[in-house]
């Protein structure tokens, strides 16, 4: 058995999926604002989905190189707790977003090799939280949600000065192993709990949360 982790279920597109994610035990829920993603939400839909979340569950807006105007519109329309920057935003941009909106900022950093670890150290000096994700394929359309893992040994035993969350290709089958190898105590899942892009599966969400919280033995691979 592994220690319990707090779970973020990202890419929720329907109120029913939001309610199922909360019922499964997610501590964070993510809404995507990126038009190239199959999980992208219009503002009115995003508000409806967000309002289906229970009190105490952190609502996260995933954006990719969003402008102030885009972030303004999102923050006005949708009740949020955290802004997730999942593009090529600079450390200065992270700081500017924090100052403008007064919300915690989670910065996603893609990892493919040891050379990417220095980038994590840089963002740990400004972001409120790090999302350690698999680097997307070269010329890929999506910065995340690709169902890809990375070599977890690269971050085994590492700690940063900010809280961090592990993402990238996690499923109910591999999340316990990923936690054991990396020491992660927060994990993020999107495509790994879907029956189709943007459509979550309640049973998969429950199985993932159970595995991340150590409610079931580590599944055999």
Which residues have a catalytic role annotated? 10, 133
Radius of gyration of the chain (CA): 16
Start-end of H helices in the chain: 15-24, 43-51, 68-77, 91-101, 117-123, 175-182, 202-212
The DSSP letter of residue 3 is -
Pairing outcome for strands 105-111 and 6-9: unpaired
**Residue 102 and residue 166: Cα distance in Å, rounded?**
24
**Residue 24 and residue 26: Cα distance in Å, rounded?**
6
**Residue 8 and residue 167: Cα distance in Å, rounded?**
9
Neighbours of 56 (CB within 10 A): 7
22 Cβ contact list (under 8 Å, min separation 6) = 29, 52, 53, 54, 57
Pairing outcome for strands 194-196 and 199-200: antiparallel
């Amino acid at each position: 058995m592994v220690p319990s982790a707090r779970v973020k279920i990202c890419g929720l597109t329907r109120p029913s999926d939001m309610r199922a994610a909360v019922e499964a035990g997610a501590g964070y829920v993510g809404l995507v604002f990126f038009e190239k993603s199959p999980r992208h939400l219009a503002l009115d839909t995003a508000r409806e989905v967000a309002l289906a979340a229970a009190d105490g569950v952190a609502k996260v807006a995933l954006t990719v190189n969003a402008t102030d105007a885009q972030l303004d519109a999102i923050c006005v329309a949708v009740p949020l707790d955290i802004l997730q920057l999942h593009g090529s935003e600079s450390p200065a941009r992270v700081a500017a977003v924090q100052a403008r909106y007064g919300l915690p900022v989670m910065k996603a950093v893609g990892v493919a090799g040891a050379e990417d670890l220095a980038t994590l150290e840089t963002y740990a000096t400004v972001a409120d939280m790090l999302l350690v994700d698999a680097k997307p394929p070269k010329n890929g359309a999506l910065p995340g949600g690709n169902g890809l893992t990375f070599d977890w040994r690269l971050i085994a035993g590492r700690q940063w000065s900010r809280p961090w969350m592990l993402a990238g290709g996690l499923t109910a089958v591999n999340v316990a192993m990923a936690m054991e190898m990396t020491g992660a105590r927060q994990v993020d899942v999107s495509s790994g709990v879907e029956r189709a892009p943007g459509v979550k599966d309640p049973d998969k969400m429950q199985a993932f949360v159970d595995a991340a919280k150590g409610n079931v033995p580590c599944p055999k691979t």
